[in-house]
Amino acid sequence: MLGGRAILAPILLLDALFLGLLLGFGTLNILDMLLLGSIPNDMVWLLQIVQSLSCGFAMVKIVLDMPANSSPVMDGLRRLAVIGSPALLFALVILTIEMLLTGQEKSAAITFDLTSLGTSTLMWSATYLSIAIGLTLTYKVQRYGNFAQSELYMVGMFFGLILGWSEHYFVLSEAPADGVIAWSLLVRTVLFAFFLTGILGVIIDRAVYRGFRIRDASPQVMMIASLGVALILRSIYFLRFSSAKDRFYPDADFTSSSAKWELPTKWVRLNLGERDTSSGSYSQMNCEQTGVDAGTGEPILTRIVSESKPVMEVYEHSSLDPESFCVTPLTSSLSYANGSLPAVVFLSVALLVLLLNKTRLGMRMRAVADNPELAASSGINVERVQQTSAFLSAGVTGAGGAGLDEAGIEPTEAPLRAIGQVQIGPQNPCYKQITHHYKARTTASHSRTPPRPPKTAPRPARPPARRARPQSQIQP
């Protein structure tokens, strides 16, 4: 079955990309001709795009479904597919667009700002990390998936917003900008959100989850209870604050246009489709040195002229202003508000890692996570450790929410994205590979274990029945 899929998927991919999108003679095009052109032309290439992307996903899935320990080459290919599957799928999307535009005799350009992509990735990874670290801590110590963890992130955002309405902060946020940012206000906001969200996490743990632990409820029951807690928290904040987008600044200087870092960057431009120009010449975004200024000794840079467009252009000078061609370096701005979030989250995670590995409390938490019964028998107060875990997981998540409040994200928007990440997590190919590997090792260990003797002793065999003596041997 695996071999049939491994042959069929590349054939369908070639049919969609080269025969269909590029040459216009794929299976769907032939079907359209047999139906006398009744299928709209746009519908044909849209279906071919879907076919191409579906085959790409199928080929990654085929590699992941290969049996474990088949051969070193296959194991290496599987690891490469797991690690590089996002890049491979992105390359397939670009190749699909290239085939479509070439077949339609059209062209398009896609430009990427590398620094902007990096900072955006850093900000959103910090957002999900602050939720994931609290969720992991709850799962390891209390043994259930807390669906209310993202709502605690929302609570931390609203705590920062509420603090902005207080008499100590409201006056500062309404005052005119003076060019000086009071970073201490941001630090106090984060600490305030950490402690209040942590206290709320302890209250929820004692009011809801502690009763389930006393009754030895299953992890599935506690997970469903956490989903109810999430809906309750979301409803309460909807009733009080509505779904409007509010943004809290501890200082008015955070909104200033000069409150940002200017970072050097490079732009990558992909020229897709037809790359031949009607004029026979094309001025690239790349620059080359054509001489040296006699007065200053600096190199003279001019734009490269070629007969056709290159597939990719990588440049670091602005080419939009005709007066500053190849002179003005490109920069990407990162506001102080957006840059503060990764700093807050990564610092909180680093402190939490030190707490878990270098303190007596962390040793107790790791002992409870490994074996609660053994930890209780050694004198550790398991209930107190679990409540401490609830405080830390909620506090770290709330601190990240207060930091994200600076970035202007809707307080009810980030939890929805985080819930999506939590639900999609088990479908991740890396997660499936780890789970499959663990199951394979568990099965192999069970197969090597000798069978246990039955608990009940075997029933003793009945003694053989005594034969009756014949009448002739019976003495009177």
Please indicate whether residue 202 or residue 438 has the higher confidence score (pLDDT): 202
The pTM of the full predicted model, rounded to 2 decimals, is 0.68
74 shares its domain with 141: no
The pLDDT, as a whole number, for residue 131 is: 83
Domain count, the chain: 3
Query: Rounded to an integer, what is the distance from CA 205 to the centroid of its chain?
Result: 27
Summarize the confidence of residues 107-122 as an average pLDDT.
90
467 occurs within a structural domain: no
Whether residue 445 is predicted with pLDDT greater than 50 in this model: the reply is no
Question: Does any domain span residue 476?
Answer: no
Q: Do 171 and 253 belong to one domain?
A: yes
In a domain, 367, yes or no: yes
Whether residues 146 and 245 fall in one domain: yes
pLDDT at 83: 83
Range of the domain at 289: 266-329
Residue 288 belongs to a domain: yes
Q: Across residues 50-73, what is the average pLDDT?
A: 82
pLDDT in tens, 330-387: 888 888 777 887 888 888 888 888 988 889 988 988 888 888 888 888 888 988 998 9
Give the model's pLDDT for residue 97: 93
- For the segment 198-214, what is each residue's pLDDT rounded down to a tens digit? 999 999 999 999 999 88
- Examine residue 442 and state whether it is found in any structural domain, yes or no: no
List, for residues 263-293, the tens digit of each pLDDT value: 888 899 999 998 888 777 888 888 877 778 7
Q: Does a structural domain hold residue 59?
A: yes
Whole-angstrom Cα distance, residue 329 to residue 314?
13
User: Is 453 inside any structural domain?
Assistant: no
**Rounded-to-integer distance, Cα 320 and Cα 290, Å:** 20
The domain boundary, picked from 297, 312, 329, lies at 329
